[in-house]
Amino acid sequence: MSDILSKIKKANLVGRGGAGFFVAEKWLSVAKALESKSADNKKCFVVCNAAEGEPGVMKDGCILEHYAARVIDGIKIAIDFLSAERAFLYLNYAYHKKLNKKLASLIKDAKIEIFVKPINSGYIGGEESAILNAIEGKRIEPRLRPPFPTTSGLWGRPTLINNVETFYNVSLVAAGQFKNTRFYTISGDCPFEGVFELPDNLTVEKILKQTDNFPKFPFFIQVGGNVSGEVFNAKQLKRPASGAGAITVYSRAKNDFKKVVKNWLNFYVNESCGQCAPCREGIYRLRDVFMKEKIDWRLFNDLLDNLSDASFCALGAAAAVPIKSLIKNVYHEKN
């Protein structure tokens, strides 16, 4: 096993995009996919996902702003490891505007190409297989799995896709400087919104307290992003901030049930790519049902279950998460 792979394995690196996949496992599966190809057919690609399309997550932008050299280094390590043809830095439009020059000077003559996330690609434009479509110039929406990007990604070649923070961590691990920290984005009804670097095993409660953000009013939180994160009440804070490491604080006084759910549904109706029936039609009907004076709860729940059970991609399935958990953990909470 190569040096870097064993280091990553030893550090137990977990992907920081949100799905929490083991980094070593992903790298290995790309390497394995390459092994099975003939000698003249070993082309492969690396993609760094800096789309950061989830509202309430800002850490990739922060990392790029302060530690861009580390991120580029991490990408280069991946290119070397796989002898990759090229890497793409799939970059959020706003970050590109702000950091383009700096990134370009860091990349210099490395085989890294900045690909600006198309401005109209929306939420789905950050889904990893939709990124492949974007780079290939196809309609921006998720691809059917299998095959997975690790075996058949960009132009059908094995492709490694990792998040900005993951590449940052890879660079640290390579240099022996990884300290088991991660970047948390805290936002919402709290005094100190922003990105904080803290140990990766802290509970939500500790994170809020250490950043002086623990609310003194009735509240609930959403972990993992403003639209796809899971919702918990104030008694459920002894858990890690998993996924993309975002914590959003909602004041109960300011955020009534109807308003929050309506916002989410409006977001998803606008952002669904339209590929599959449960998401395209289902979310539209969910909003319809929800906006009625008398809500048909049975139908509402069936539509939600159908989203998590039968959607084409993980984003469709994730759309049901905040609503279901809000109902379970907040709306039905016994005080």
Partner 1 sequence: MKKINLKINGRRLSCLEGKTIMQVAHDNGIEIPNLCYHPDLPVKANCRVCVVEIVDRKNLATACSTPVAAGLEIKTDSERVKRSRNLNLELIFAEHIKRCPTCIWRFNCQLLEYAEKYKIEITHFSDRKSKRKVYKFANAVEIDGRQCIDCRHCLDVCNDVQKINYLKLTGKGIDQEIVPASEHRGLPFIGKKAKPADCIYCGQCALHCPAGAAQEQSHWHLVEKALRDKSPLPPFVKGGKVLVAQFAPSIRVSIGEEFGAPYGKIMSGQVVAALKKLGFNYVFDVNFGADITTIVEAEELVARVKSGIPPDKGGQRGVLPMLTSCCPAWIKYIEFYRPDLMPNLTTARSPQSHSAGLIKTYWAEKMKINQKNILTVSIVPCTAKKFEAGRAELKIRGNWPIDYCLTTRELAWLIKKHGIDFFKLKPAASDNPLGESSGAAAIYGATGGVMESALRTAEYLLATARDTVCLEENKKNKMSLKAGHGRVEFKQARGLAGVKEAVVELAGKKLRIAVVNGIGQIQPVFDKLNDYDYIEVMACPGGCIGGGGQPIPTTKEIIKKRLEALYKIDAGASVRRAHENKEALRALRWLKGKGKLRAQVLYTKYRKKS
CB 123 within 8 A of CB 271: yes
Residues 103-122 that bind partner 1 (CB under 8 A): 122
Give the other-Cβ count within 10 Å of 147's Cβ: 14
CA-closest candidate to residue 217, choices 262, 187, 260, 255? 255
State which H helix or E strand residue 224 sits in.
none
CB 47 within 8 A of CB 157: no
Per-residue binding string, partner 1, 249-288, x by CB under 8 A, is --------------------xxxxxxxxxx-xxx-xx--x
Cα 14 to the center of its chain, rounded Å = 13
**Helix, coil or strand: residue 119:** coil
Say whether residue 236 binds partner 1 (CB under 8 A): no
Distances in whole angstroms, Cα of residue 178 to Cα of each of 45, 181, 198, 200: 25, 8, 12, 11
**What is the nearest approach in angstroms of partner 1 to the Cβ of residue 12?**
24
Number of residues that bind partner 1 (CB under 8 A): 32
CB 180 within 8 A of CB 199: yes
Q: Which of 146, 212, 293, 294 binds partner 1 (CB under 8 A)?
A: 146
**What is the nearest approach in angstroms of partner 1 to the Cβ of residue 309?**
5
**What is the nearest approach in angstroms of partner 1 to the Cβ of residue 292?**
12
Which is nearer to partner 1, 36 or 335 (by Cβ)?
Answer: 36
The span from the CA of 119 to the CA of 135, in Å, is 13
**What is the nearest approach in angstroms of partner 1 to the Cβ of residue 244?**
20
Q: Which of 60, 141, 165, 200 binds partner 1 (CB under 8 A)?
A: 141
Which is nearer to partner 1, 257 or 297 (by Cβ)?
Answer: 297
Interacting residues toward partner 1 by CB under 8 A: 122, 124, 139, 141, 144, 146, 269-278, 280-282, 284-285, 288, 302-303, 305-306, 308-312, 317
